[in-house]
Every structure is written in C-alpha cells, then in structure tokens.
Amino acid sequence: MVTSKPARRDLLGPWAVGLLVAALPLAATPLVTDPVMPVRLLVLAAGITLGSFAAGTGRLPRLMPWAIGCAAAVFVLAALVSATPWLSLLGRYPRYEGLPMMAAYAACLWLGARLAGPDAKRTRDLATSALAVGTIVQGLVAVVQVVTTPDVRVTGLLGNSTTLGTWGVLSLAMLGWRASTGRRSLWLAGAAAGALVLVLSASRGALVGVGAAAVMATVILLRSRSRRWWLAGAVALGTVVAMLLVPTGRARLTGATPFAEATVTGRLLLWQETLALLVNHPFLGVGPSRFVDSIGGFHTAAWAAAVGPYAPPDSPHTLVLQVAAATGLLGLAVGLVVAGLALWPLLRVAKLDSWQSGALCVAVGVGVTYLTSFTDPITTPVTALLLGGALAQRSGPLASTWRARSIGVLTAIVGLFLGGTLVAAEYLYTTGAGQATNPGPALIKATTARPFDPDLARRVGYTLDRLAEKGQVDPLTAVPLLRSTCTKLPGSVECLLALADAQDLAADHNAALTTLNTALRLDEFNVDIYLKRGIALASSHRYPEAEVAFLKASDLRPTAPEPWTNLAKLYQLMGRTSDATAASAKADQLAKR
C-alpha cells in the first residue's frame, strides 16, 4: 500500500512530542563541565523542527500570539538597553535564556496547540506514555543516587534538585489525571514515579507546588460534581507524609539542618536585595541574563554573613522577580497578561477533559513552584507544550503551511548553531581539563568553539587558575584570556576574581590588587574579595594591610574558617607565634561546625 504524503507527515507529530516530553529531560551527557544543557539544546530544536513540519489540527487562541509578540518586543528592548545587548539577546550560561530560548518556550506552546489539541487523541496518548516512561527513568536514577550517595541531594538527570522536584509536580499532575480516565498501568506507574522523584528531591518549593496543583484539581472535581473530590488532597497529603519519612526530606521540611534554614534565609535576603535593584531599574530592569552581574551592588552585610559569595545567584529564585529584574515592571505587566490569557480560557470551561484538567493543574503547580525557584529549559518547554494542547482551538485538518515550515527551518539553523557549538565547546573543555600534562592549550582551544561566549572563557580561565595552583599550567596563560573576557562582562565580579587569581599566581600582585579594587567597588560585601586582597597584600609584604583585609573578611562572615587560616599563616610570617596559634585554633573550631 502506498502511504500518502500527509500520512507520512502525521508521523512527525508523535515523534516531535516524544522528543520534547521524554528525550528532553533524559538527554544528560557525561560532560563534567556541563552535563545538563549541551545536548538538550539540540533535542529541543529537533523537537520543534519536526513538529513544525507535521500536520496540525489546532491553533492557539487568537489573542495569545499577539501577547507573546508584545512580550518578545519588551524582552528585546530590555536587552538592547542593557550593559550587554548582544549577550542578553543570545542568552548566557547556565540556562541560556536569551531570545532563542524564549522563542523556543513560545514555540512549544504553539506546538502543543498544533499537535495535541482535542482532535489529536493519538498524539495525546503517545505524549502521556512518553511522559510516563521519562519519569520512570528519572525515578530509577533518583533511587540509585539515594543508595549510592545518601549524603548528597538527589538531582536525577536534571542537574538540580528543585528542577527534579518541579518535574515531579508536572508528572504527578498530568499523569494522575490521565491515568484516572485512561486507566493505563503505564500512566499510573508514571504518576507514582512522579511522586517518588518529588519526594526524593526534598524540594520544599515543589511540595508547595504539588499542594497548589491539588487545590486546583479539587476545584475541577467539585465543579464536575465528582464523588472523588477528596482524592487530589489525599495524594498531596500522602506526598507530604512520604517526604517526612525520608531523612533528607524531613530535615529540609523541619529545618533540622543549618543548610535547610540557611536556604530560607538566603531566599528572603535575595528577594529584599532584588527589590532594591528594581527600585533603581524599575521600567526595563537590568536586562536579560544581567542579574548575576548586577545584584552584587545590592548585597548587604547580612547576605555576606548568611550566604556569602560562593555560589553567585543568576536568578532571584522567584518567577515574579526574575521577570521584573530582566525586563522591569513593563515586562512583568506583559508577562501577567500572557499568563492570564493562558489560564483564563481553561478556568471558564464548564467541563474539562483529562488533558485539559491535567495541563491546568500542571500550570498552577509548576507556576507556584517557580515562585521559589526559576524557569529552566527542561520543565518550562514541557509545561508549555501540555498547556498549548489544552488551549488548542479546532482549525480542521491542516497541511504544513509555509509559516510553520519557516519556523522549523529557522529553529533548525539556530538550534544546530547554538547547540552544536555548545556540545563542541563543552567536549573540548571536559577533555582539556582532564589532560594530565599540559592542559592549557587544550583548554584555550575550547573557547574557540564559541568565541561569542565570554562565560565559557570565564569558566575556562577559572579552571586554568586552579590548575596553575597545582603547577600544571603557567598562570600567565589565563591572564590575557580573562583580561579580555572581563571587558565583555561588565560588572562581573566572578570574572574579576578569576583575573585577580591569575595575576596573583603570576606574581603580578599590584595588578591583582588593582583588579580586586575594581571588584570591591561592584560588591563591597564580597568576602572573597577581602580574602584575595589579603593574600595579594601579604605576597607584597604589606602585612598590616593584609591583616586588616583578613579581619574584615572574618567580620563579614563570622562562620568561615578561611579568614582565620590565612591569618594564622600571616602571623607566622610576621613572627607573631602566639597570634598564629590562636588563629589556627579558631580556624579549626569553625571548620568543625
């Protein structure tokens, strides 16, 4: 039998949905420098491209594309007036949420409506099965991680515990609804796996998200006069109990560990500082991907004491402030309009089908989870795809139009370029860092794969510094690389600290101090700056000034042993033996906490 051309195209839709729902979250790589993003960019682009060439049967509500267009215009405007227009448009490490990624999120919403609307039962069923399989795999990986590394937080294949918990909310909400009507054992197993990964992630934000999804599910069940209106609440309560039974989850829920308590304190401080940033940049924010280099000027002594500089935040860790920091109050207003247009049509439907019910609960649950975390290129595209299918309006059998094909071709070109160069760069970076002898040239070569990406160069420079400390690399190798990179990343204290390290290791202590003084003007409460200033001053035999720097670091972060370890070494150089002994004892005492 000869297969018609439209029938062949119909195969592309299920393949596209399968890639986006199952392959995207599983596409981790053994690249130690970044196992999360490189291949996933290619998978995301491949799924959108295939879906663009598939035959569609639905479309988004008419106002939605216009609202998304307005949001894109505000995003571009905010990027263009930022300190790094090109980088803000392109997107930066680690989540690369520039204009291409924002377009990919919108494309997933569009594809959901195009391929998974009410007339696409086969595609909907396949998507549900793919989601179940992907979640079961995540669950198995999470269990292995619990058994093999019980003292480390579980991340599955997603690289982040909160992202894993968000995936659990998404899977449990969607698969729970689909299994309740489809009665397929695979879907039920997937829902159970979703609950499992949520529990093992020990994410408190995800637990609040699943509670919000349960409230939404209860409202839907009550509206439909279902006798099982209590079921969603029971599932949410069972999830809480299960998390309390797991030691890591219980510790985080009860705040029994210092880290669990510090996480809450750090979030509150970060939100306060982000509000201060917004007061200074209210209309268009600081620009996309600029938060990590802008928030330092708004850090406080309380932030230094509670959190410190060891993991600079690239997001405010709440969706509302994330949007506002990147695009200002204008972007936030447009974003709220887009969210309203996405949710209001479903809230008005008198009787939702199982896909619509699941997608609405996913949107609410994931959205609430994002209120204590951030969007990401794994859960956000899948949420958009599911929601797009729920919003779909019938438009009859459609051949692949020129507009859809154009989207597919453009996605393939941009995705292959950005994803391909990222895979190549991270492969070269990983192999270079693993070389036992003379890794410097190999690491420098990694930066040539993405010459437009200063964050890659900054990371490579940091690795060169660490290798130089071990005597494996000439520190002068990193200096010109980092000097040119820091000019491309205005306001980046991370880059300046790496440059100062390279200069200090190369025995150019005066240059290191000049660099550190520049960093200090950007973030006056950064403990690392004072520690590195103290080291550079001591290396220049300016011992009294070095002592002042180390003592300032100890005042800013009283729980850190590093200032006292450095003071002990300094006092030995100064011949102050008794002070050195006392400082060493203080460092040991703090290290045991």
**In this predicted structure, what is the pLDDT of residue 402?**
80
- Residue ranges and CATH numbers for the domains of the chain are 5-414 (no CATH), 442-591 (1.25.40.10)
Q: What DSSP assignment string belongs to 381-446?
A: HHHHHHHHHHH-EEEEEE---HHHHHHHHHHHHHHHHHHHHHHHHHHHHHHHHT-SS--HHHHHHH
Q: Does the pLDDT value for residue 261 go beyond 70?
A: no
pLDDT at 405 over 60: yes
Per-residue confidence band for 259, with pLDDT thresholds at 50, 70 and 90? low
Q: Could you read off the pLDDT of 18-43 as tens digits, one per residue?
A: 999 999 999 999 999 999 999 999 99
Q: Dump pLDDT digits (tens) for 214-244.
A: 999 999 999 988 888 888 999 999 998 998 8
Quote the radius of gyration of the chain (alpha carbons, Å).
Answer: 26
Distance (Å, whole) CA 125 – CA 176: 14
User: Do the beta carbons of residue 429 and residue 448 sit within 8 Å?
Assistant: no
Task: Give 296-307 pLDDT, tens digit per residue.
Answer: 999 999 999 988
Number of H helices, E strands in the chain: 29, 2
Q: In this predicted structure, what is the pLDDT of residue 1?
A: 32
Residue 400's pLDDT is what? 53
**d(Cα 346, Cα 235) in Å, to the nearest integer?**
23
Rounded CA separation 56/575 (Å): 79
The reported pTM is 0.94
Mean pLDDT of 378-382: 98
Q: What is the mean pLDDT of residues 494-499?
A: 98
Tokens of 78: 């905010």
384 near 108, Cβ under 8 Å? yes
Q: Which residue has the higher pLDDT, 90 or 264?
A: 90
Distance CA 290, CA 315 (A): 9
Q: Cα–Cα distance between 288 and 88 in angstroms, integer?
A: 5
> Rounded to whole angstroms, how far apart are CA atoms 443 and 430?
8
E strand or H helix that includes residue 59:
strand 56-59
For 538-571, write each residue's pLDDT tens digit: 999 999 999 999 999 999 999 999 999 999 999 9
> What percent of the chain shows pLDDT beyond 70?
96
Q: Looking at the predicted structure, is the pLDDT value of residue 190 above 70?
A: yes
